[in-house]
């Protein structure tokens, strides 16, 4: 059975920058958990960033900085490389990642000015996974992910 990479915060782990989670409640998640399909991962924590931590956003030139002005690009690059390695190890072709995150956003990211405004874009990890043929879905697209799995079985 095909494994699915899932953001740790969506799984219920308190790994967000603010020390909270974004636990996703959907009936299919319990089924996938029982089937041992979910591989839980947070690229930011895996790369050594603390929880809680200052929020980070992708800047227009592509660097990632936190709200204190610190450049955290290297940590995000490390986390995305670790996510890719994990996917390759488990032969994962599907990911369910947190929308809006500078790591995991798949359609929207924050604008880089720490104003709370989102713009079209993708996070560092999503970009790396997609560049390697892994399909990334957000929590807003879980029904599309389910439909994709059903269609390819």
**Domain CATH code at residue 100:** 3.40.50
Counted residue by residue, the chain has a size of 153
Judge if the upstream peptide bond of residue 52 is cis by omega within 30 degrees of 0. Answer: yes
Report the 10 Å Cβ neighbour count for 106: 27
Report yes or no on 86 lying in a domain: yes
Number of domains in the chain: 1
Report yes or no on 22 lying in a domain: yes
**Which residue's entry shows tokens 């319990």?**
30
Supply φ then ψ for residue 56, to 5 degrees. -125, 150
Report yes or no on 135 lying in a domain: yes
Report yes or no on 137 lying in a domain: yes
Whether the pTM exceeds 0.75: the reply is yes
Report yes or no on 117 lying in a domain: no
Q: What is the pLDDT of residues 109-140, one digit of tens each?
A: 999 999 999 999 999 999 999 999 999 999 99
Report yes or no on 61 lying in a domain: no
Find out whether 49 and 75 touch, Cβ atoms under 8 Å.
yes
Domain housing 146: 4-55+75-106+124-152
Q: What is the pLDDT of residues 28-70, one digit of tens each?
A: 999 999 999 999 999 999 999 999 999 999 999 999 999 999 9
Report yes or no on 64 lying in a domain: no
């Amino acid at each position: 059975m095909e494994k699915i990479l899932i953001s740790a915060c969506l799984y219920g782990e308190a790994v967000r920058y603010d020390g909270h989670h974004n636990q996703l409640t959907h009936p299919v998640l319990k089924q996938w958990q029982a089937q041992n399909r979910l591989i839980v991962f947070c690229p930011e924590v895996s790369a050594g960033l603390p929880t809680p931590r200052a929020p980070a956003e992708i800047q227009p030139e592509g660097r990632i900085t936190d709200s204190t002005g610190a450049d955290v690009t290297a940590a995000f690059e490390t986390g995305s490389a670790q996510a890719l390695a994990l996917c390759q190890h488990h032969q994962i072709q599907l990911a369910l990642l947190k929308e809006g995150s500078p790591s995991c956003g798949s359609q929207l990211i924050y604008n880089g000015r720490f104003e709370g405004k989102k713009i079209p874009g993708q996070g560092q990890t999503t970009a790396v996974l997609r560049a390697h043929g892994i399909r990334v879905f957000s929590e807003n697209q879980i029904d599309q992910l389910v439909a994709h799995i059903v269609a390819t079985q």
